[in-house]
Each structure stands twice: as structure tokens, then as C-alpha cells.
Amino acid sequence: MITWRSITRALQRHHAPIRAQVRQLNLLEHHSHKLLREFKLPVPPGFLVTTPEQAKDVVSVINAPSMIKAQVLAGGRGKGKFNSDGKSGVRLADSPSDAFKDASNMLGYSLTTAQTPTDGLHVDKLYIYQAVSIAQEFYFAMTFDRQHNSPVVLISSSGGTNIESNVDKMHKLYFRLSTGITDEIHAYIQAELGFSDTEMKDIHRILVQMVKLFKEKDATLLELNPLVRTEEGAFICLDAKFEFDDSARYRQKGIFALEERSPEEEEEHQMAELGLSYVRLGGNIGNIVNGAGLAMATNDLIGLYGGKCANFLDVGGAATKEALRKAFGVFEKDERVKGILINIYGGIVRCDMIAEAIVAAAAEMGGFKCPVVVRLQGTNSEKGLKLIEQSGLKNLVVEGEFEKAAQMIVKLTSGG
């Protein structure tokens, strides 16, 4: 069976780069800290700022060395580089004047890390909290192991940026949400990581609250990295990463309301709100299809004739005027799109109904600003093509044969 998940995987093998169509909600660090605080997990008091002046004022109030961290949905910020001064996305400010200088070189600029696009991510928010003296960094996480059909605790004594090179030190402890952290898990962690009885009381409390949060908020990943032990012996969560089950969106409206999206992700979100599936690619031909298999075939045929797709949009059975108007609007805003191919095979959804929706949506927009080729096949296709031909809309042509339609849009977008 062909699905949009399989399409994305296939396209990722042949085109670069592509964002997976199925994705889970991630939170920015300041939202994560707020959520941890809500579940009584230890985090330092933090402040969100959007101007260098605010950064200066916050560090003045803290009156101590402070961490300044760029708020972007990407890991590796500490090893990343800003396009302003070449410095990282995590900085230590010893004074208010340092905070002002750093914030001036961070806000409004792009940060590039190993997990961002090559041109980086725009930074418009910073999170600031008092620096802590770190004695040791740990990695604590909870997720689901699909192979074992069980939630699992992942723990390592080598946390922070070193975790990826110390996977062999990771301890996996399976548990049940109904029983939580058992005495056996408690004893194993203390023996393997060498916590004292006093420290283990804090660790046990952290784990119990992690389970509570994980369960109540429908999380699929709860990662504390690093969870640090300070020089004074306290345990503090300095950074956290969350992922949540998208199917629980209706239960976790407060969590999902915090979602921040890039312009590209906003396109996907708008389409999803209309029940449409959207995948962004790297070419200049916009595509509207109905069906995953037809999408793959359209991509292959356009590629065969020398073209490249800018995206895929599967309207399925939702080819309404509103949906198509929204789709055309997204394509119009995308400066890469030089032409659009609408490739529909009518079955349950009749081609004449789709044609009416295309004409109505285009008329509402005042016509098309780029060439549009329409190919309709199936139920009432002749009637649908006739409706489009008689519409009088400019930049709109019809072609009933699949190959010719692909050749035509490639030619129209290549200037040939």
C-alpha cells in the first residue's frame, strides 16, 4: 500500500532535502522549562527576551554570570555558529554589558548547527538563566521502545554534548506506566551510577515526576540533557527536549498551542488543517494530485522530462474551492514555483466538481500569475476539461494525456 509516509521516505532517497510529512510536536526550551516546572522538576528560574535591552536588564536582575541561549528548534546550539560574529548559540554573559553585546549579535541573525538547514535558523528569542557550577552531567530520558512494546528509561553518566559519542554507556530500563519506577529500577540505577542514598532520593523523585509528565501529557519523548549535579550537590535540569503524540492533539490542546513553526512548516500546517497532505521539495513546479501513487508517478514523469517538483499536495477527496484556493495561495507565496500541474484522476470525486472548484478558486484570486496545466482523467473528465476550457482564465491550459501534461509544464517552467 502506498502512503504519504512511504512517499516521503522514497523521495528522501532521491531528492534532498525533504522534511518528513509525519512529524511530532517539539517545544522550544523556555516552554520545556515551564512544563518541567509545572511537574515540580528542578529547573533554574529563566527569562525570555526579544531585545538586547531586555537581556541587559535580566542579567542585571540576576546579578550573576548568566547563560544566554538561542531559542530555535534544533540541537547542537552550543557548537553552532551565528552569521553575525561566528560565535555559538549558547553563551555565558558575565555582566549586563556582555549580555547586551551578545544579544545584539544573536537576535535577528541566523544560527547554523549540525541539525539546521545550511543557511541556518532565524533567531528572534533568547532564554536567559543564572549559570550553575556543574560537577557532572547526566542524560535522563523516557521514550517508547516499539520492538519491546514498552516505555523505557534511558540513563547515562555522560550527558550533555558527549552523549552521542557515549551511547555504549547508556542504560535501558523497561517499565510499565501502571507501575512506574519500581524498587528494582531504583536499586539498579543507584548501583550502576553510584549515587549516594541522599542523592538517590532526589533522583527517584525526578524519575517519578518524569513518569507522571510522560503519561499525563501523552509524550513520546522526554529528554533531560543535561541533568546536572552542581558543585553544591543539587540536581538541576538545564535543557530538555519533548516530543508528543500527534494523535493526542485533541487532548493536549494547551501543549499543541505552544507549537512554533517555520514558514515552511506553516505551509504544512495550513494544508493539514484542511485535511490535505503536503510535502515540500526542492524544484520549481507545484503539483496538486489526488492519491499517493499518482503523486509518485507525477514526480517521476516530471523528472524524466527534465523538471523538478517544488512540492506535492495531495487533495484526496477534499478538492473543494476553499482547499484549492488555499493551495494556490501557498504556491503564489512560494517564489520558487514557476508553474503548477494539477493532475487528478476522478473516481469517487468527479472531475467536473474538481473543475468547478479550480475555476471558482482561480476567479476568486483574479486568475493565475504563473502557467497552470490541468490534466483530468476518470469520472466526468470530459465535462470537467470543457468547463476549464470555457472559463476564459489566463495562464490555464488543459491536457488529457499524462505524459503530454508533464512535458508541457516542464516546457512552460523552463522557458523553452
38-57 pLDDT, tens per residue?
Answer: 999 999 999 999 999 999 99
Read off the pLDDT band of 261 (50, 70, 90): low
Asked if residue 127 has pLDDT above 80, the reply is yes
Pick the CATH number of 45-130 from 3.30.465.10, 3.30.1490.20, 3.10.580.10, 3.30.1330.30: 3.30.1490.20
Residue for grid cell 516530543: 243
Determine what percent of the chain is predicted with pLDDT higher than 90: 54
Question: Domain map of the chain by residue range?
Answer: 45-130, 134-256, 263-414
Which CATH fold topology does 263-414 show?
Rossmann fold (3.40.50)
As assigned by CATH, the class of the 134-256 domain is: alpha beta
Contact 227, 206 (CB under 8 A): yes
SS3 content of the chain, % helix, strand, coil (to 5): 40, 25, 35
Mean local confidence (pLDDT), 260-289 = 76
d(CA 180, CA 108): 44
Domain 45-130 matches domain 263-414 at the CATH topology level: no
The reported pLDDT for the residue numbered 350 is: 83
d(CA 100, CA 102): 6
Please give the C-alpha separations between residue 303 and each of 52, 155, 208, 295, 307, in angstroms, as whole numbers: 48, 46, 53, 12, 5
Residues serving a catalytic function are: 139, 223
DSSP conformational letter for 76: -
Would residue 54 be called left, alpha or beta, if left means φ above 0 and alpha means ψ between -120 and 50 degrees? Answer: alpha
d(CA 401, CA 405): 6
Asked if residue 21 has pLDDT above 70, the reply is no
- Give residue 312's identity as a one-letter amino acid code: F
The reported pLDDT for the residue numbered 265 is: 64
Pairing between strand 219-230 and 240-244?
antiparallel
Pairing between strand 339-346 and 372-378?
parallel
Across 201-215, 292-306, 349-363, least confident range:
349-363
Taken in order 173, 174, 176, 177, is the CA torsion positive or negative? positive
Residue for grid cell 507545484: 286
How many Å is the Cα radius of gyration of the chain? 26
Residue 26 backbone phi and psi in degrees, to 5:
-115, 155
